[in-house]
């Protein structure tokens, strides 16, 4: 999906709506002649390198960290980054192939390659949302019910959950093969996505409701789970101060902070597209849009997909930047000369983690 960022013209409404729509139409008429795959190649390369770097960091942490809760989280995170990486490579290659063979604004006939590209867009779009939801639920269980988490969550069950997530996203992506919804070429005919603007039928409405409904539900569940986890950790830290107990764990704090980063980026990147899809398919169902309105909506759809594709670039940087090692360095740089590292919060996190691990080892013995 990252390859969708190559479009250089993005219509924006002016204060005068009629004049704004006319200007959008004029820009869209010439967009094909102005665009080149240069930006697509650059953004695709950036996304691939970012995901490879994050994958290397997560794999290294997974080999070093053998604690069950942390290992489960890292397995989820590594799978999410690997899925984003595959999405960059596959969808980007399909769009670049479309450029290599050439296309025109009138070449909108649906072919097998369009069906495959549209399915990839849906599959690689839903997978990160589903995985973010599963990771938030897993961490919520680990923070609020650690004993239940230890007895239920295992590496084998985590892999099974990942397989179910991929199968569910694949099932949704294949719904047009069962005549539920359609994939069509979208403006400027270099990519394919769900049909939400022209000739919308009842099956298209159902498909958009499933796609947007599952995406919204994943974001809501992740929000609720991360909120519960954050409140639980804050309460535990306050109780530690009053009772002189070290009940919080640095790994839990780090994982919840990363999940919050994932949730925020997913909401910013995906809510506009999911909302626009629902509004557009409802508006266009049974009603023929005029040319100017249709051109304006095409521009909004293009902007929404471009914003959603940024999620695959930002996800790996959440793990790269929101690590304890990086946060500790930032903390030291901002408090240089005033706070000693040994007395810092991050140092307390490490001591807390070590003591917690020792206690668990003794209790198991």
Q: Are residues 282 and 348 in the same domain?
A: no
pLDDT over threshold 50, residue 268: yes
Q: Are residues 287 and 351 in the same domain?
A: no
Q: Are residues 205 and 350 in the same domain?
A: no
Number of domains in the chain: 2
Q: What whole-number distance in Å separates Cα of residue 352 and Cα of residue 253? A: 11
pTM, two decimals, is 0.77
Q: Are 277 and 194 in contact (CB under 8 A)?
A: yes
Q: Are residues 273 and 347 in the same domain?
A: no
pLDDT at 14: 40
Q: Are residues 337 and 232 in the same domain?
A: no
Q: Are residues 335 and 318 in the same domain?
A: no
Q: Are residues 234 and 364 in the same domain?
A: no
> Which structural domain, as residue segments, surrounds residue 318?
2-322
Q: Are residues 271 and 362 in the same domain?
A: no
Q: Are residues 191 and 47 in the same domain?
A: yes
Partners of residue 183 on adjacent β-strands: 194
Least trusted range by pLDDT, from 94-103, 134-143, 260-269: 94-103
- Going by pLDDT thresholds of 50, 70 and 90, the confidence category of residue 19 is very low
Q: Are residues 243 and 342 in the same domain?
A: no
Q: Are residues 96 and 182 in the same domain?
A: yes
Residue with tokens 């070290």: 246
pLDDT over threshold 60, residue 105: no
Q: Are residues 109 and 249 in the same domain?
A: yes
CATH code of the domain covering residue 182: 1.20.1070.10
pLDDT digits (tens, 9 = 90+) for 286-333: 777 777 787 888 888 888 888 888 888 888 888 788 877 777 777 687
């Amino acid at each position: 999906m990252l390859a969708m960022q190559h479009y250089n013209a993005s219509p924006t409404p002016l204060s005068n709506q009629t004049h704004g729509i006319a200007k959008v139409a004029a820009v869209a008429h010439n967009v094909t002649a102005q665009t080149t795959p240069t930006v697509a190649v650059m953004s695709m390369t950036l996304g691939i390198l970012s995901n490879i770097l994050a994958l290397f960091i997560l794999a290294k942490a997974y080999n070093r960290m053998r604690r069950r809760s942390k290992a489960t989280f890292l397995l989820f995170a590594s799978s999410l980054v690997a899925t984003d990486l595959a999405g960059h490579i596959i969808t980007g290659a399909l769009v670049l192939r479309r450029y290599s063979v050439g296309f025109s604004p009138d070449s909108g006939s649906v072919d097998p390659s369009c069906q495959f590209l549209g399915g990839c867009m849906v599959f690689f779009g839903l997978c990160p949302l589903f995985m973010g939801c599963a990771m938030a639920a897993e961490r919520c269980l680990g923070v609020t019910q650690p004993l239940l988490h230890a007895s239920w969550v295992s590496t084998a069950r985590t892999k099974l959950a990942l397989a179910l997530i991929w199968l569910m996203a694949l099932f949704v992506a294949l719904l047009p093969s069962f005549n539920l919804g359609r994939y069509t070429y979208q403006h400027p005919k270099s990519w394919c996505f769900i049909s939400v603007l022209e000739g919308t039928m009842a099956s298209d409405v159902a498909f958009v409701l499933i796609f947007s409904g599952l995406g919204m539900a994943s974001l809501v569940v992740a929000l609720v789970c991360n909120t519960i986890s954050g409140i639980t950790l804050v309460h535990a830290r306050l109780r530690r101060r009053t009772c002189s107990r070290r009940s919080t764990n640095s790994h839990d704090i780090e994982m919840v902070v990363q999940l919050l980063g994932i949730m925020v980026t997913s909401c910013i990147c995906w809510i506009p597209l999911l909302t626009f899809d629902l509004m557009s398919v409802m508006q266009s169902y049974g009603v023929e849009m005029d040319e100017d309105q249709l051109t304006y909506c095409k521009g909004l759809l293009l902007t929404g997909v471009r914003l959603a594709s940024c999620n695959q670039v930002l996800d790996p940087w959440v793990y790269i930047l929101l690590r304890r090692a990086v946060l500790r360095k930032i903390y030291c740089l901002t408090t240089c000369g005033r706070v000693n590292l040994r007395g810092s919060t991050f140092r307390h996190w490490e001591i807390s983690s070590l003591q917690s691990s020792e206690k668990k080892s003794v209790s198991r013995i």
